[in-house]
Each structure stands twice: as structure tokens, then as C-alpha cells.
Amino acid sequence: MFCWIAQCGPTAKQPLDSDCFSGDIICQNGPEECQGNLIEGCVVKYYTSNVYASFLDCAEGDHSGSVAAMPGCAATANIDWNLISSCINNVTEANEVHLTYAQKTIALGAAKQGTPWILVNGVVLKDPDDLFLAVCEAYQGVKPLPCGMAYHEHLLTKKIE
């Protein structure tokens, strides 16, 4: 792995070797995780953040990344499952989606210290339980109602601790 990082990582000599992001895709938790990552990548590719956030909340938050639950989550988020199926079944497009996220992950370099590794506006979130509040705080514009509720719940929790 260290050899690969030296040749293909963020500090490697440019241009990168064409073999850096080729070959079989291997996911830490097996093929279902790879499939889930691909589905989520396709959703992010075709939909705006307010739509894909709803999908991701359902898929990851409510169903722990279960691939079987993702079509239902797509329906809940008003996502066209046929479009997503087309993306995941098109070998060229699927490889492009995987490549995009592989490159984004390796661009983090040694900064990525584990999973989950969550960035909000490029800043590492230290406690994944604070994700909703961090997104609400980073949101520009009129805050949606759940953000106000989350903030008040956060304050109450801190007072209790």
C-alpha cells in the first residue's frame, strides 16, 4: 500500500502512471459495500445535494448502507431508480464514478485516518454524531426548520452532560 501511495498518491510525481487507478475494485467490507458505494456515487452524480442528502440519510442512516434498501430510499427521495440502474450497469460510467471517488479519497492522503471520515466544507468532523448539526451550521441561507430544532436539542444535551 505504501508503495502504491508513493507512486499514485497526492504527492506522487505528475502525471500519474495510467495503472494507478486500474484493476479490480476492492472495498474494505466486501462486494456489497462496493455496490453501495457505486449506487451512492451515481446518485450524487445526477442529483443535487438536497436530494442526495435525503437518499443518503435513508440508505446509510436508516438502513446501514444496505444495498437492498437503496431502491426504496431512492423512491422516498424522488430519485429515478432507472437512471441510477443505468449508471451502475454501464461499465464505462460505473468505472468513472468509482475512479472519481478513489481519486478524491487518495487526495486526502495521510489525513484520512479511519472510517467514517467525514468532511464538512473541507473540515474534518471529529464526532460523526455531530454531522447533522455541523451541516446545519455550515448551511448558507435560511436554515430549514430541522436545523433549528437540532440546534436546540444540541444545547439541551450539552446542558445535561
1 has a pLDDT exceeding 60: no
Q: How far is CA 34 from CA 41, 63, 94, 153, in A?
A: 10, 16, 11, 35
**Contact of 58 with 73, CB cutoff 8 Å:** yes
pLDDT in tens, 52-90: 889 998 999 899 999 999 999 999 999 999 999 999 999
Q: What is the pLDDT of residue 108?
A: 75
Q: What is the pLDDT of residue 160?
A: 47
> Above pLDDT 70, what percent of the chain?
84
38 vs 81: CA distance, rounded Å: 13
**And the C-alpha cell for 6?**
508513493
158 vs 64: CA distance, rounded Å: 27
Sign of CA dihedral 107, 109, 114, 117: negative
Q: Which residue has the higher pLDDT, 31 or 27?
A: 31
